[in-house]
Amino acid sequence: MTTLGALERWRSDGTITGTQHSELTAIVRKERFSIFLELNALLYLGVLSFIAGLGWTVYDHFAQLGDAAIVLPLAVAFAGSLYYCFARAAPYDRDAVDSPSLAFDYVLLFGCLVFGVELGYIEYRFQWLRTNWDYYLLASAILYFVLAYRFDNRFVLSLALSTLAGWFGVRLTLLNFHIGGSLRGDALAYAALTGVTGWLTSRSGIKRHFLEAYLHVAINVGLAALVSGVDGREHAWLWAVAAIVMSALTIAFGVRSQRFVFVVYGVLYGYVAFSAQVTRSVADATVVFAYYTASGIAVLIALAILSRRLAHPS
């Protein structure tokens, strides 16, 4: 039986009303469709574009504008964004909280990015912390974490995690200390720290739905670090095995949790690690090109099949 046939039967049986039947039928026939995702993407790109333009203006024209003409408007914009958010947000809750409006999340993200631009300008112009300038990153990350949890915003949580990663790497570099003797070790340590933190906060019942954001960062950083060792001169095959094993675990997690994006992460990083080893000793560029063409098509087909199976499990 088709979906339209099922809807007609449900209406006849009284399971759904005539109004519900009309609305669902319109959706099935694609007479109505959602543009929510597109609107969100446009708003997100709009905020990023505005901040990029703002940063370029500050960098290019600070001599003509003067410090006060830059610092004060940025501070007002940041304070205004926070006032808007605090005035309209629901009280804090450990569980998920719906955003009060479509624009709310983007106003908060805008305020956080403005704060980052202002701190960058202050350090560039006045260099108050000098060699300890990385503490600006730490302060920003702490603020972003507080705002992310207060306003239940995963955009800002991702910003906090990426900013903290920046501080983590810069601080270890300034100390001339690297875990395992390389930046790769630092990245793996940060990935583990992020994953464990997300798991612990989720187990504690604090914003359980934030766990996925932690996992996005942890898995990407961890896999990228492992794959970066595949092209190295020392123990390349060990890094390749580690990357493929972690990729397989990521795919298994994505399939089990019905989150296709993690399947994509695992397949792509695993493909890169495996292919780097396969083509390492191949000198013929034609053979390499043929391999990547054929295997790339096979990977895309496999992802399409997995996507359909996850969307319609048997």
Confidence (pLDDT) at 210: 94
Q: Is the dihedral of CA 86, 91, 95, 101 positive or negative?
A: negative
Confidence (pLDDT) at 39: 63
At 229-238, the pLDDT tens digits run 887 667 788 8
How far apart are the C-alpha atoms of 188 and 194, rounded to whole Å? 10
Q: Is 91 left (phi over 0), alpha (psi -120 to 50) or beta?
A: beta
Residues 6+ apart with CB under 8 A from 19: none
Q: How many residues does the chain have?
A: 314
Place of tokens 């396969």: 278
Q: Does residue 36 or residue 272 have the better pLDDT? A: 272
Confidence (pLDDT) at 31: 56
Confidence (pLDDT) at 22: 74
Rg from Cα positions in the chain: 24
Does residue 1 register a pLDDT over 60? no
How far apart are the C-alpha atoms of 311 and 314, rounded to whole Å? 10
**What's the mean pLDDT when you consider all of the chain?**
85
How far apart are the C-alpha atoms of 128 and 124, rounded to whole Å? 9
Confidence (pLDDT) at 28: 61
At 92-111, the pLDDT tens digits run 999 988 888 878 988 999 99
Of the pLDDT bands very low, low, confident and very high (cuts 50, 70, 90), residue 115 is: very high
For residues 24-46, average pLDDT: 63
Confidence (pLDDT) at 306: 82
Q: Write down the pTM of the prediction.
A: 0.80
At 247-289, the pLDDT tens digits run 999 999 998 888 889 999 999 999 999 998 888 888 788 888 9
Please report, rounded to a whole number, the percentage of residues in the chain having pLDDT higher than 90: 44
Contact between 264 and 270 under an 8 Å Cβ cutoff? The reply is no
At 126-174, the pLDDT tens digits run 888 777 888 889 999 999 999 999 999 988 999 999 999 999 988 888 8
